[in-house]
Amino acid sequence: MRTLLTAIMMIAASAAHADDDALRKQVVGLWTLVSVIYEDQETKERSPVLGEKPRGRQIATADGRWLALVTAEGRPVPKTDEQRAQALRTMISYSGQYRVENGRVITKVEIAWNEAWVGGEQIRFIRFEGDRLFIESPPMPHPNVNDKVVKVVVIWDREK
């Protein structure tokens, strides 16, 4: 029985590893932002907090580098300290080494718009529909919405 259980676990681990290899190859590329939705974990309300047409690029390299930059729709050029602070609240950006495990992309953050993320890991669930990439965060306190607990859903299209 123990041998059978070990064999089943090895087959399952091998299948998961194969899936991660496929996801790793599929995530590599240059991506253009489609949308960013925050889902409030208390009310389940979903809102496009960065507007209907935010801008952004994501780059995932074959050698494991990750860069994501997202900005809100209609950001003005900041001219005052308050406008500069608002500009910081209307963007998300981080970069570092990434790996794919169990259907998730995990980035060891080396640089970010939010210094609290530097040195930690950002974990995102990923799935694909053709050349469209869906990335979802686990529920987390988000600094751009006064640390309200949200799930962030980001959709990207592969650049051709």
Are residues 46 and 39 in contact, defined by beta-carbon separation less than 8 angstroms? yes
- Residue 40 makes CB contacts below 8 A (sequence gap 6+) with 46, 47, 148, 149, 150
pLDDT tens per residue, range 21-35: 999 999 999 999 999
Residue 99: what pLDDT? 97
pLDDT tens per residue, range 50-75: 999 999 999 999 999 999 999 999 99
CA angle 139, 28, 160 (to 5 degrees): 110
In the chain, where are the structural domains located?
2-158
- What CA–CA distance (Å, rounded) separates 24 from 34? 21
- Given the candidates 2.40.128.490, 3.30.70.920, 3.30.1160.10, 2.30.30.830, the CATH classification of the domain at 2-158 is 2.40.128.490
